[in-house]
Chains A and B, each alone.
Chain A
Amino acid sequence: MRVIVAVKRVIDYNVKARVKSDGTGIDLANVKMSMNPFDEIAVEEAVRLKEAGVATEVVVVSAGVAQCQETLRTALAMGADRAILIESNEELQPLAVAKLLKAVVEREQPQLILLGKQAIDDDSNQTGQMLAALAGLPQATFASKLVVSDGRAIVSREVDGGAETLSLTLPAVVTTDLRLNEPRYVTLPNIMKAKKKPMDTVKPEVLNVDVTPRLKTLKVQEPAKRSAGVIVPDVKTLVEKLKGEAKVL
């Protein structure tokens, strides 16, 4: 069974993002970039499926600038077999990425497509869902547990109301949530092995996808600074304030 994992190169989760002075976006100059943490979880899950003998090949895909190769190399070092870079300097929005991934899915014919539930830069939480819709595939998002057997994916999802379990026929799209697994450390021997693994580069035009952005960002600004809190003398006053001022009760 072939598994495709989509990964995104994003600002490292430890970095304190700064808004550009002209308000057009986040300042990414000289900023540390890493694999989106939810995508790491997706790669880890795919590698575990391979180690369990369920998956036969793990193909990792990323769309973006040439430096995404570093992100793909990390995925290879985690245990993926092959990498595909869809190279573009355009601003790639979720719909464009979903279309690009659909083209790759058509080429590669995987039984399972894993993505992180959302990227920590835009928090869109759209690409997996859009991909499933475009490709006409079943989807299960926010997976906290995944079992693959007999041509089905059994997915436990963490949702606002609690937990639910879905059964999907393969091929299917699954997006990963935090508690699915804890990604492994990349070992030095695996970094060395990853150098020999194939990495192909392809342009969006070759995949017949128009990646022109549909949404325009008008302004980016920092959230309003939190003002100091108020100390209340007792619980009665607290409840009053929550009712009357904060209006949350």
Chain B
Amino acid sequence: MNFDLNEDQLSIQASIEKVCEKFDDEYWLERDRTGAFPHDFHRTLADNGWLGIAMDPEYGGAGLGMTEAALMMRTISASGAGLSGASAVHMNIFGLNPVQVFGTDDQKKRFLPPLIEGKDKACFAVTEPDAGLDTTHLKTQAVRDGNYYVITGRKIWISTAQVANKMLIIARTTPLEKAAKPTDGLSLFYTDLDRNHIEVREIEKMGRKAVDSNMLFIDGLRVPISDLIGEEGQGFKYLLHGLNPERILIAAEAIGLGQAALRRATQYAKERVVFGRPIGKNQAIQHPLAQAWMQLEAANLMVMKAATLYDSNKSCGAEANSAKYLAAEAAFQSCQTAIATLGGMGYAKEYHVERYMRECMIPRLAPVSPQLILCFIAEKVLGLPKSY
């Protein structure tokens, strides 16, 4: 059982670290203050070929696996970019996997290269105000009209919709009552984010101001049938394909965030002298930091295991979900501890750890709640009766 990173992975980590060096803590502090999207960060990663890390080489990708993608996302986050950096590119890394797996050659040619080159920015419209965890009950409808589908509905928590020009959207093509089972009748589209038919309203939120989250009001959006991915009514199945990678990547990002917080707190503990000694000499300071390190390392092992299973085409639902749960909780502990270690300074924006704390709630809540993950493990791994 080899736990070392291989040569490529070490190269990837070192190269990403170098790219992120230019985007320092002050850059991210400023982004969080103004809310300006980090376009130059996105552009630098795109220009250096990083967006296509897990995409097909035939369309400009590097054809590597989730292991490398997760490593890249963790490294970005750990540099101090946190979720603000990671979320700016997250969707581009794996979001179009359903297109890659289920799209036609024509669709792949049209859609994948511009995204990999950074020319397109895509958002992912699944969640609705009344359907978050309960995806099959979503209400957005896509009604066939000649060579088009007409989509109407509302979506919420759609990241990057302020800057995106493309949208991967799931909608009901067969009403729930008429579907053979709840998971039937949903269809997946990759289409232009036409602001004439979509009102994008930004949601003011706790953290990660640089990467917008939005409510979408979609009214009579005409989508050509050539933008339908795969078969009509099979969308849920295609979506499932991307769920485990989604969890793996978010978990990796959470770990990076926790590591950034731990690094800042540790440095501070070494330098801050109170009562004639560095505070890091006190066990009440050292011990929580040591715990944070252990929890982050353990969660990282689960992330890497899930990624390895995924890359080997093995089932990884339990591991991917657990990785998300463990990483988010470990990040939360680390961020809390960091603020406590910095004391009053931890409350000041210029010391960065309060920003990490505000961001670490995202991987805790999204894409799935920790409670539902616990239910999933109880049911699917332990065989206990489903509780809902």
Binding site for B on A (CB under 8 A): 14, 34, 69-70, 73-74, 77, 185-192, 194-195
Contacts and interface: CB of A to CB of B under 8 A. Distances in A.
A27 to B, nearest CB: 15
A33 to B, nearest CB: 10
Contacts of A187: 15, 47-50
Interface in B275-293: none
A34 B8 CA distance: 15
Nearest to B51: A188
Nearest to B60: A189
B62 A73 contact: no
A191 B19 contact: no
Contacts of B19: 185
A103 B14 CA distance: 31
A191 B15 contact: yes
A195 B62 CA distance: 13
Given A188-B15, A191-B15, A73 B7 contact: yes
Contact of A73 (B11, B44, B48): B11
Interface in B1-53: 7-8, 10-12, 14-15, 18-19, 21, 44, 47-50, 52-53
B7 A70 contact: yes
Given A34-B14, A74-B14, A77-B15, A188 B53 contact: yes
Contacts of A190: 49
Contact of B15 (A14, A69, A185, A195): A185
Contacts of A14: 21
14 contacts: A185-B19, A185-B44, A185-B48, A186-B48, A187-B47, A188-B15, A188-B49, A188-B50, A188-B62, A190-B49, A191-B11, A191-B15, A192-B8, A195-B7
Contacts of B50: 187-188
Contacts of B15: 74, 77, 185-188, 191
Say whether chain B's binding surface is mostly helix, strand, loop, or mixed. Answer: helix
B11 A77 contact: yes
Nearest to B44: A185
A185 B10 CA distance: 15
Contacts of A185: 15, 18-19, 44, 48
A192 to B, nearest CB: 6
Contact of A186 (B18, B21, B52, B53): B18
A230 B14 CA distance: 43
Contact of A191 (B12, B44, B47, B52): B12
Given A187-B49, A188-B48, A188-B49, A70 B10 contact: yes
Contacts of B21: 14
Nearest to A34: B14
A69 B49 CA distance: 23
A192 B62 contact: yes
Given A186-B15, A188-B53, A189-B62, A195 B8 contact: yes
A77 B47 CA distance: 15
Contacts of A192: 8, 62
The 3 closest A-B pairs by CB, nearest first: A188-B49, A187-B48, A186-B15
A17 to B, nearest CB: 14
A73 B11 CA distance: 8
A185 B22 CA distance: 11
Contact of B49 (A70, A189, A194): A189
Given A186-B18, A192-B62, A74 B11 contact: yes
| Max chain B Cβ within 10 angstroms of own Cβ: one of A34, A70, A185, A192 | A185
A74 B12 CA distance: 10
Count chain A CB atoms within 10 A of each CB in B14, B15, B47, B52 and give the residue with the most: B14
B7 A69 contact: yes
A197 B49 CA distance: 19
Contacts of A77: 11, 15
B187 to A, nearest CB: 33
Given A187-B47, A188-B53, 18 more contacts: A69-B7, A70-B7, A70-B11, A70-B14, A74-B14, A77-B11, A185-B19, A185-B48, A186-B11, A186-B15, A186-B48, A188-B52, A191-B8, A191-B12, A191-B15, A192-B62, A195-B7, A195-B8
Contacts of A186: 11, 14-15, 18, 48
Contacts of A194: 11
Contacts of A189: 49, 62
